[in-house]
């Protein structure tokens, strides 16, 4: 619409000019070389315009003839470039579809038509990777490193290849160089953090997290959590030799992540040794409210070493109230009641956990209660020990398919920070019971914990299917299990003699 209006405006302006000239007639006289030419103003204007058009056409023809060779060369280069980009595009599609032959063919065509372009080198490297030619891939990535524009991309490729051949030293060097050239590169910062965490260089790892947070590579909650994990690692290492520094780091970690169980446990122990029982109890209670854990219960019940078993039972009931009688709090109350020899109270605390499918710890706790009240030869104690062998397993620390009884700041497989999570391991189906009656219950046998589907998941680790309950009195449970098996052997021997 605007173009139509502009055209009408120009047409009106031309008509106005023609009318203005027609209303003001005049004569134009040209004298040249003794000749005199006279004409009207309108004819003179038309002649000038026609002469300009003719001169423009002549100049365009002359310019076209002069620039014809250059135009032919430029057209050939453009066609060559178009073919090169077409080969590049088809090569990327071949790489994505997993066709190594087509990828290598198109990579060669693209390199021949386009030369050492960044995308051409990348296609050549990826074609070599999917073909399994590691040397060619590294050669292509090295050529990219030599070019300042593609240096970081080439370092990324060399880093991946070094990881594939398990050369961690070279991989770390590539990551450090990439982080120096481009501080905001995510993969380089993550690789540096993993390497520093695997080496136990917690101070450098903290600096890396601070840099990543300042550059906006990770969000603030994640940065706070990772800082808390690293501070907990420092506190764990310094707990024995430098308790003051360890307590300071643990309290900093608790402030950043109040629900981090290891940090709360370390802080509670160190504050208890220092005599600050109120602060220690507050730290543990805060963590317990959001994440009830047997390690927290153990620390909380042992805050004051001189407490009687009644005092410990009262503390266990406090934890139960704080967590609205979470299963962990019931186990803590049952253990404290067992230590206080209040067997009815212990059974009452465990009763809700035994209604459906009691876990290994619940079954072992009931076996310990029966043994303490009725003796090691009690039939009910032996029955609970037998049930524990086939009971579902309790939560453990798991990272990348590895199960552990203790927490660690990094995964032993991938080196990933804050990889361990407290959760139930996969429960396999227990084998059917044999037809022959067994008077002696079998002790829990190790079972395999299958690895989670991670890219670098290791072989499954072996952990016991039944472990004694954490907290005070765990030794009594283990002793009860051992003593329950001895009388059975004695009874069989006596029957054989008879």
Whole-number pLDDT of residue 345: 94
User: How high is the pLDDT of residue 474?
Assistant: 40
Choose between 475 and 370: higher pLDDT.
370
Closest CA to 391 of 365, 355, 362, 353: 362
Tell whether the model's pLDDT for residue 464 goes beyond 80.
Answer: no
* pLDDT tens digits, 279-331: 999 999 999 999 999 999 999 999 988 889 999 999 999 999 999 999 999 99
Name which of 133, 132, 131, 110 is nearest 122 in CA terms: 110
- Dist. CA 267–CA 249, nearest whole Å: 9
Residue 494's pLDDT is: 35
Among 395, 338, 325, 405, CA closest to 367: 338
For the segment 226-249, what is each residue's pLDDT rounded down to a tens digit? Answer: 999 999 999 999 999 999 999 999
Lowest mean pLDDT among 351-355, 403-407, 470-474: 470-474
Q: What is the pLDDT of residues 30-61, one digit of tens each?
A: 787 778 777 777 777 778 888 899 999 999 89
Are 233 and 263 contacting, i.e. CB atoms less than 8 angstroms apart?
A: no
- On whether the CB atoms of residues 259 and 287 are closer than 8 A, the answer is yes
What does pLDDT average to over the chain?
A: 82
Structure confidence by residue, pLDDT tens digits, 140-174: 999 899 888 889 999 999 999 999 988 988 999 99
Mean pLDDT (whole number) for 260-277: 95
Q: What percent of the chain has pLDDT over 70?
A: 86
pLDDT number for residue 292: 95
Residue 214's alpha-carbon distances to 18, 64, 211, 223, in angstroms, are 70, 58, 5, 10
Average pLDDT over residues 360-366: 95
Question: 428 pLDDT band (50/70/90 cuts)?
Answer: low
pLDDT in tens, 389-414: 999 999 999 999 899 999 999 998 88
Angle 96-97-103 from CA coordinates, rounded to 5°: 75
318-331 pLDDT tens trace: 999 999 999 999 99
Q: Tell me the three-class secondary structure of 50-87, residue by residue.
A: HHHHHHHHHHHHHHHHHCHHHHHHHHHHHHHHHHHHHH
Tokens of residue 180, six digits? 């120096």
């Amino acid at each position: 619409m605007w173009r139509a209006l502009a055209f009408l405006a120009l047409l009106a302006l031309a008509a106005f000019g023609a009318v203005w000239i027609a209303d003001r007639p005049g004569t134009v006289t040209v004298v040249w070389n003794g000749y005199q030419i006279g004409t009207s103003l309108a004819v003179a204007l038309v002649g000038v315009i026609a002469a300009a058009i003719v001169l423009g056409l002549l100049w365009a023809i002359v310019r076209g003839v002069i620039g014809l060779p250059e135009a032919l060369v430029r057209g050939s280069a453009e066609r060559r470039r178009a073919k090169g980009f077409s080969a590049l595009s088809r090569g990327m599609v071949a790489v994505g579809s997993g066709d190594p032959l087509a990828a290598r063919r198109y990579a060669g065509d693209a390199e021949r038509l386009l030369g050492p372009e960044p995308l051409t080198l990348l296609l050549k490297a990826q074609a070599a990777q999917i073909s399994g030619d590691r040397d060619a891939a590294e050669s292509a990535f090295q050529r990219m490193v030599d070019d300042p524009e593609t240096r970081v991309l080439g370092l990324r490729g060399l880093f991946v290849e070094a990881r594939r051949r398990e050369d961690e030293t070279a991989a770390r060097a590539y990551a450090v160089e990439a982080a120096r050239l481009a501080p905001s590169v995510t993969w380089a910062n993550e690789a540096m953090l993993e390497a520093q965490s695997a080496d136990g260089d917690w101070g450098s790892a903290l600096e890396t997290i601070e840099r990543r947070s300042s550059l906006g590579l990770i969000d603030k909650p994640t940065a706070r959590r990772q800082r808390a994990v690293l501070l907990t690692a420092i506190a764990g290492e310094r707990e024995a030799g430098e308790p003051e520094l360890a307590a300071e780091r643990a309290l900093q970690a608790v402030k950043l992540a109040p629900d981090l169980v290891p940090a709360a446990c370390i802080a509670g122990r160190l504050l208890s040794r220092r005599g600050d029982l109120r602060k220690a109890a507050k730290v543990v209670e805060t963590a317990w409210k959001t994440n009830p854990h047997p390690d927290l219960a153990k620390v909380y019940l042992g805050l004051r070493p001189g407490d009687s078993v009644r005092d410990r039972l009262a503390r266990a009931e406090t934890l139960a109230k704080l967590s609205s009688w979470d299963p962990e709090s019931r186990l803590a109350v049952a253990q404290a009641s067992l230590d206080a020899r209040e067997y009815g109270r212990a059974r009452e605390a465990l009763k809700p956990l035994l209604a459906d499918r009691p876990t290994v710890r619940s079954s072992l706790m009931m076996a310990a209660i029966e043994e303490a009240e009725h003796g090691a030869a009690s039939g009910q104690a032996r029955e609970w020990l037998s049930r524990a062998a086939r009971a579902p397993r309790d939560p453990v620390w798991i990272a990348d398919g590895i199960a552990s009884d203790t927490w660690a700041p990094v995964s032993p497989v991938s080196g990933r920070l804050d990889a361990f999570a407290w959760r139930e391991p996969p429960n396999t189906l227990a084998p059917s019971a044999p037809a022959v009656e067994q008077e002696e219950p079998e002790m829990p046998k190790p079972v395999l914990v299958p690895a989670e589907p991670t890219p670098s998941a290791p072989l499954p680790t072996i952990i016991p299917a039944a472990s004694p309950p954490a907290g005070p009195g765990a030794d009594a449970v283990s002793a009860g299990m051992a003593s329950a098996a001895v009388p059975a052997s004695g009874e069989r021997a006596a029957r054989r003699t008879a």
